[in-house]
Amino acid sequence: MNKEALLLQGDEAVVEGALAAGVRFFAGYPITPASEIAEGFSRKLPQYGGKFIQMEDELASMACVIGASLSGLKSITATSGPGFSLKQENLGLGIMIEAPCVVVNVQRVGPSTGLPTSPSQGDVMQAKWGTHGDHPIIVLSPSSVKESFDLAVTAFNFAEKYRTPVILLLDEIVGHMREKIELPDAAELTIYDRKRPNISPENFNPYEETEDHIPAMPDYGQGYKYHTTGLFHDKTGFPGGKTEDARRLMDRLMAKIEDNLDDILLFDEDIREKDNVLVLSYGSTVRSAISAVNEARDKGYNAAWLKLKTIWPFAGDKIKELAENVDTIIVPELNRGQLIREVERFACGQANVIGINKYDGTLIKPEEILAKIEEVE
């Protein structure tokens, strides 16, 4: 049976992916170039028995999403750069209390109002370190409309499986471009839901230390005593002001991500044994990178590509391995150079790392990457 083919924007595909993953709550505030996500949820969530709320601002919408998650709903919000900045304090709260949810950021040129309708990848480091303090974070970056759907599903699976907020980091090009997409049937998708308690309420601790570092999570109102706080706390959820509690909790928050890198780190590659130039890209620059590598190969150059779908945590071991086998790593980015710093750090001088950078609201074209490949070969 042929599936219906749809012509969707990346923003619209995020809506479809989130609904397929089981999302039933959205709270947000309109902002270019992410408004289509809010508009899509406002139309579709009522059809699924879900709730859509336009909040008074981005800070409130992040708080509302956390509250909905604690009540048992898979929850999402969407914004762009200025709104993403406003969400950071409550994003930190969500990380501390381990509230699974997804935050979509469709990047535009900044700082401040910048170029509101133009593409950027300027929020890469903010996605990692935007909220204060040490903290774990998972950040996914789609490069196509189909990946916007797929990684929206994956973002919720990671959020639920590891009990943590997850950031879905698009850029304006991916958010607004339209491509043909065939949506999978529900039976074709693997969907994860949060771990539920299997003990009586009398014996339950909301932040119990477990072998997998992920506490079971009941819904508010189900009869389990469940206290949440942004303060460092023990297994009961209450703060004791003890340094040992702080160390133990932080180590557990980090361990539940670091112990599962084989599951969380997602990337695609086309690397041959003879290739000595690698183009590493993410988001909208992937399309230009792959096109440039294919053309370079047609001309006889030994070029390869690596596409990162997970940006954070960073695939450092993968970069270290590749740097030992290639001479040059080219990193095209729509910023002044952000993820390239991580590439340089893990390459450890084994390969020459070169950036191609644009931050004026225009895209990086295949011919620009091809010229750099020809220059270093």
CATH number for the domain spanning 365: value is 3.40.50.920
Domain total of the chain: 2
Encoded tokens for 269:
């590659």
Question: Is 361 a domain residue?
Answer: yes
| Per-residue model confidence (pLDDT) at position 242 | 86
Residue 261 belongs to a domain: no
Q: pTM for the full model?
A: 0.97
Tell which of 131, 154, 188 closes a domain: 188
Asked if the structure places residue 206 within a domain, the reply is: no
The dihedral over CA atoms of 127, 132, 136, 140, expressed in degrees to the nearest 10, equals -10
- Identify the burial level of 336 via C-beta atoms within 10 angstroms of its C-beta, where 0-12 means exposed, 13-18 middle and 19 or more buried: exposed
- Torsion-angle region of 343 (φ positive above 0: left; ψ -120 to 50: alpha; else: beta): alpha
**Is the bond preceding 111 in cis, omega lying within 30 degrees of 0?**
yes
Greatest distance between any 2 Cα atoms in the chain = 70
| Distance, CA of 154 to CA of 370 (rounded, Å) | 32
Residues 333, 162 contacting (CB under 8 angstroms): no
- Which pLDDT belongs to residue 1? 53
CATH assignment at residue 114: 3.40.50.970
279: amino acid identity, one letter: V
Domain membership of residue 218 (yes or no) is no
Phi-psi region of 104 (alpha: psi -120 to 50; beta: other; left: phi over 0): beta
Shared-domain flag, residues 166 and 285: no
If asked whether residues 164 and 278 sit together in one domain, one would say no
Closest CA to 21 of 59, 52, 50, 63: 50
Distance CA 340, CA 328 (A): 13
* Same domain, residue pair 184 and 272: no
Query: What range defines the domain where residue 296 resides?
Result: 268-376
Last residue of a domain, one of 166, 188, 210: 188
In a domain, 184, yes or no: yes
Residues 281 and 181 in one domain: no
Sign of the C-alpha dihedral computed for residues 58, 126, 98 and 50 taken in this order = positive
Phi, psi of 285 (to 5 degrees): -70, -15
CA distance 314 to 125: 11
Nearest Cα to Cα of residue 306 among 320, 322, 325: 322
- 183 and 90, same domain (yes or no): yes
Asked if residue 117 is part of any domain, the answer here is yes
- Helix axis angle, 316-323 to 339-347, nearest 10°: 60
Give residue 309's pLDDT: 98
The answer to whether position 307 is within a domain reads: yes
pLDDT score for 3 = 75
Q: Within 1-120, where are the H helices?
A: 10-21, 35-44, 58-70, 81-97
User: How would you write the pLDDT of the chain (377 residues) with one tens digit per residue?
Assistant: 567 789 999 999 999 999 999 999 999 999 999 999 999 999 999 999 999 999 999 999 999 999 999 999 999 999 999 999 999 999 999 999 999 999 999 999 999 999 999 999 999 999 999 999 999 999 999 999 999 999 999 999 999 999 999 999 999 999 999 999 999 999 999 999 999 999 999 999 999 999 999 999 999 999 999 899 999 999 999 998 889 999 999 999 999 999 999 999 999 999 999 999 999 999 999 999 999 999 999 999 999 999 999 999 999 999 999 999 999 999 999 999 999 999 999 999 999 999 999 999 999 999 999 999 999 98
Encoded tokens for 173:
């090009």
Whether the Cβ atoms of residue 364 and residue 286 lie closer than 8 Å to each other: no
Q: In this predicted structure, what is the pLDDT of residue 4?
A: 78
136 shares a domain with 36: yes
Of 139, 166, 188, the domain-final residue: 188
Q: What is the pLDDT of residue 194?
A: 96
Which distant-in-sequence residues (6+ apart) come within 8 Å of 241 by Cβ?
A: none
Whether residue 318 lies inside any domain: the answer is: yes
Verify that 133 and 33 share a domain, yes or no.
yes
Cβ pair 72, 217 in contact under 8 A: no
**Rg (alpha carbons) of the chain, rounded to whole number:** 21
Q: Is 241 exposed, middle or buried (0-12, 13-18, 19+ CB in 10 A)?
A: exposed
Q: Which of 35, 42, 166, 54 is nearest to 100 (CA)?
A: 166
User: Tokens 């954070």 map to which residue?
Assistant: 312
Which residues are CB-neighbours of 308 under 8 A, at least 6 positions away? 141, 266, 267, 280, 281, 282, 315, 339
Give one word for 195, left, alpha or beta, with left for phi > 0 and alpha for psi -120 to 50: beta
Within this chain, do residues 310 and 181 fall inside the same structural domain, yes or no? Answer: no
Q: Does one domain contain both 153 and 289?
A: no
8-state DSSP, 3 = P
Task: Specify the pLDDT at position 377.
Answer: 81
